[in-house]
Structure 1
Amino acid sequence: METLELKLGLSQDYRMDVSGKLNFLLADFQIYYMNLRGLHWNVKGRRFFMLHEKFEELYNETNDVVDEIAERILSIGEKPLHSFDDYLESKTIRVTKNISDGDLAVSSILDNLNELLLQERNILEIASDNNDEGTASLMSDLISGQEKLIWMLTAYLS
């Protein structure tokens, strides 16, 4: 591991710390992904077609984010969580079930996004303090996209 530390310029202690935080974020993104799948499958009502399509778009995007987070963990020399037991044990966001009302579904997505943002901002700060541009860039991109999504979903509920 000494070679990896020299190549990346990131200390082993930092890599262990940030990868732990990234793994918690990964777990929450996996739960968020499953929440979106359930909302996609179960939504009903007048806005069914629009929401069904939007939820599919969101879970497809989230699937890509999950991969990016896991690959970032690997690129700093650590191992990503990869079992549902690990995800459930490490998650902080709430698992949602049996939501068919569109407005409740959107509200639950907003709750999930707000929790994810808290973690991402924390990781961004730590990464920036440790000159970890790769992790900081990933968090910046996630934050920017989620802030826009929060604005749009909040406008939908208004």
Structure 2
Amino acid sequence: MTLNSLGLNSKKTKDLAGDLNHLLANFQIYYQNLRGIHWNIRGKRFFDLHVKFEELYTDANTKVDLIAERILTLGVTPLHTFEAYIENTKVPVGKNISQDDKAVRLIVESLTELLKIERLILDKSDEANDEGTNSMMSDFITEQEKTVWMMKAWLNEAV
């Protein structure tokens, strides 16, 4: 087994970086979805949702940077083209969404996909003793579970 300068198994680290690139691509689509619904939301809930969507896209933008920097820390180049993002995404692409219910459902669907990817990365990072990635995924999961709960409550639906 070959260890890198971080003291981690080189092969496992490269595999994790690949998974993180997959997460990065999905987060970029999620981020762009949030920008779109922020710009296009209409109706009586405009003021509340416009502000909430800005809060969410600001957070997503921060997470995109954290993911990319973690990929670099692991010695791999982060994906950085829209072509690569589209090729590697499972998050649904929202287009011309202006209705409040559809916008919130898009967020729930997107976070559901992100959580699946993050849980897989969490398992692999734990197995690789990669505490940096493990900690980041744990933090992301905790925050996003709460957001899903809140969005489902707004929709008057059970988690």
Question: TM-score normalised by the shorter chain: which range applies?
Answer: over 0.9
Could you tell me how far apart the structure 2 residues matched to 1:12 and 1:106 are? 40
- SS of structure 2 residue aligned to 1:81: coil
Alpha-carbon deviations, 1:8-36, whole Å to 9, x = none?
11122111110110000000000000000
Could you tell me how far apart the structure 2 residues matched to 1:22 and 1:38 are? 24
2:137 to 128, 139, 144: 139
CA RMSD of aligned residues (A): 1.0
Report if aligned partners of 1:117, 1:143 keep a CA contact under 8 Å in 2. Answer: yes
Could you tell me how far apart the structure 1 residues matched to 2:6 and 2:63 are? 22
Could you tell me how far apart the structure 2 residues matched to 1:28 and 1:77 are? 20
Q: Confirm or deny that 1:111 pairs with 2:109.
A: yes
**Where does residue 153 of structure 2 map in the other structure?**
155
Could you tell me how far apart the structure 2 residues matched to 1:70 and 1:118 are? 19
Q: Give every structure 1 segment of 4 or more consecutive aligned residues whose post-TM-superposition deviation is greater than 6 Å.
A: none
TM-score of the aligned structures, taking structure 2 as reference length: 0.95
Alpha-carbon deviations, 1:38-96, whole Å to 9, x = none?
00011100000000110011000000000000000001111100111111111111111
**Where does residue 41 of structure 1 map in the other structure?**
39
Aligned residues: percent identity?
A: 54
2:98 to 74, 80, 100: 100
Bigger helix share: 1
1:33 aligned partner, one-letter code: Y
- SS of structure 2 residue aligned to 1:45: coil
Q: Size of the alignment, in residue pairs? A: 155
**Where does residue 70 of structure 1 map in the other structure?**
68
2:85 aligned partner, one-letter code: Y
Q: Confirm or deny that 1:123 pairs with 2:114.
A: no
Report if aligned partners of 2:42, 2:99 keep a CA contact under 8 Å in 1. Answer: yes
- Compute the displacement of 1:7 (Å): 2.4
- Compute the displacement of 1:6 (Å): 3.9
- 1:8-87 correspondence runs (5 A): 8-87=6-85
1:25 aligned partner, one-letter code: L
Could you tell me how far apart the structure 2 residues matched to 1:114 and 1:85 are? 23
Could you tell me how far apart the structure 2 residues matched to 1:84 and 1:6 are? 30
1:21 aligned partner, one-letter code: D
Mark the runs of 5 or more structure 2 residues left unpaired by the alignment: none
